Amino acid sequence: MILSRHNSAVPVAQALACPALPSPDTQPRPFIQGTSDQGVRRISISPSYPKLEFRRKLSHHPFRHTISLLLCVLCALCGESLLSVPSSAQNLDKPSINIDEDVTAFAYAPDGRVIFSVRRMFKNKKYDLQRDDIWIMEPGGKRKRILEGQKFTNDQKLFTYQVESFTWSPNGHIIAVQLFTTSMDPDAGTREDAPALLLLEDTGRELRPNGKDPLVMNAQFPLWLRDNVTFVYLSGADTPQGLFSLSYFNISSGPAGKAFEGRTFQGASRISGTNAAIAVEESPRFDGPARLQRLELLSQEDKEVATLDAYAGGVTVSPSGNFVAYFLDKAVLEVRDLSAPVRFARLRVGIGVLQWSADESRLYLKRTIEKKSADLVAFRVPALRAYPAHSDIPVIEPDPQILLHGLTIREYSLSPDGRSLAVVLPGKRNLQIFPF
């Protein structure tokens, strides 16, 4: 985000296959490893000579066809390749789509379209301003700009914004655009930073339920209801730092009052296909344990799921709504069965940005907090079990699968059908989409 005078900026799915015998002249493939937000470098892996020699001898063995058949049978029985054939996730070598723009945020729609924002800078008489453009891309790659930032106005105020995230309505026709805004009074020389939501139809038409003002100020993390016109949002405007209150908003009539008034939460995640969410409730004085709650957003009824030993963020509900994952601290992730909350598991994976696979068998993790760059890994969800009261809970240390050959990424998302992976790279921040 920039609001500055010129020249004086103010910082604002794995398939089983019979392994083919490689040629004796097979060379090791290079892989890409990120170095920093300034770019990536290519380095080569030295050949594995013992394995290559084994393959050379095998390719000339008089019973090589029998051996190959036996290897295939063993692979089918074990579910793994004895010749270390990489998994399908490791075949993410070439993107099917590359958007060569400075992408600030993106999100998949329920039908597979992608909405993304592109950083745009322009000047007025005294200031450099940022107002991101917003585009929608069809699954085949055709793109259409639905918002031109330079022409977007907010009651004629001098303001800038950067798009931080998108949340699609359940029917995939309305988008709540999360903005970080900066407004300035040039005469007084004062500025104000605040989160806000902008509501757009997928055609690009702005929805202005507040009248002239297109923005819902101090609103974050919208949780859509099934009617596609109402959502509950989190606001930290009148709560202690790190806590949020909940409020209703209707895209036809505007603000509709408080939800669960007087209560404060650290985060929430919508349960797909319902009017409910899983939220982490915390008292305003932080004088008790955090509680995992199921909130019925329409009726304002709630049910406690579990009392947590700790909470450090990242609450994420699985696609079916049967499981939830969240971080207890900067190292330990807890996964819990929502249909039988006494069943759970703990994993030592390090804090980061989580997403469930479409079949809920795996979790994907960018191993750092949002808006920072790191590698992307995946690991299997372990069996969940109940433990006696006051017993020591084991912490599993999974063996994560490194994706994209260790390439450093800034943001990522899996498509709703689990057939593609989209990432924003550091540095230039272009958006690439890889098929699984």
CA distance 178 to 170: 17
Token pair listed for 136: 């929608």
Q: Strands 344-348, 395-396: parallel, antiparallel or unpaired by DSSP?
A: parallel
CA distance 378 to 358: 13
167-171: long-range contacts, CB 8 A cutoff, minimum separation 24? 167/107, 167/221, 167/222, 167/224, 168/107, 168/109, 168/110, 168/115, 168/224, 169/224, 169/228, 169/231, 170/110, 170/224, 170/226, 170/228, 170/273, 171/110, 171/228
Q: Which of 374, 335, 336 is nearest to 352 (CA)?
A: 374
Q: Which of 382, 307, 311 is nearest to 344 (CA)?
A: 382
175-178: long-range contacts, CB 8 A cutoff, minimum separation 24? 175/115, 175/199, 175/200, 175/201, 175/202, 176/222, 176/224, 176/231, 177/117, 177/134, 178/105, 178/220, 178/221, 178/222
Q: What is the pLDDT of residues 119-162, one digit of tens each?
A: 999 887 778 899 999 999 999 899 999 999 999 877 666 889 99
Q: Using N-to-C axis directions, what is the helix angle for 49-60 and 64-78, rounded to 10°?
A: 120
For residue 64, what pLDDT is reported? Answer: 53
> Which pTM was predicted?
0.79
The per-residue pLDDT string of the chain (436 residues; one tens digit each, 9 = 90 and over) reads: 555 444 433 333 333 233 333 333 333 332 223 333 333 322 222 233 333 333 444 444 555 555 555 554 454 444 433 333 334 444 577 899 999 999 999 999 999 999 999 999 988 777 889 999 999 999 989 999 999 999 987 766 688 999 999 999 999 999 999 999 998 887 777 889 999 999 999 999 999 887 778 899 999 999 999 999 999 999 998 899 999 999 999 998 888 899 999 999 999 999 999 999 999 999 988 888 999 999 999 999 999 999 999 999 999 999 999 999 999 999 999 999 999 999 999 999 999 999 999 999 999 999 998 889 999 999 999 999 999 988 999 999 999 999 999 999 999 999 999 999 999 999 989 999 999 8
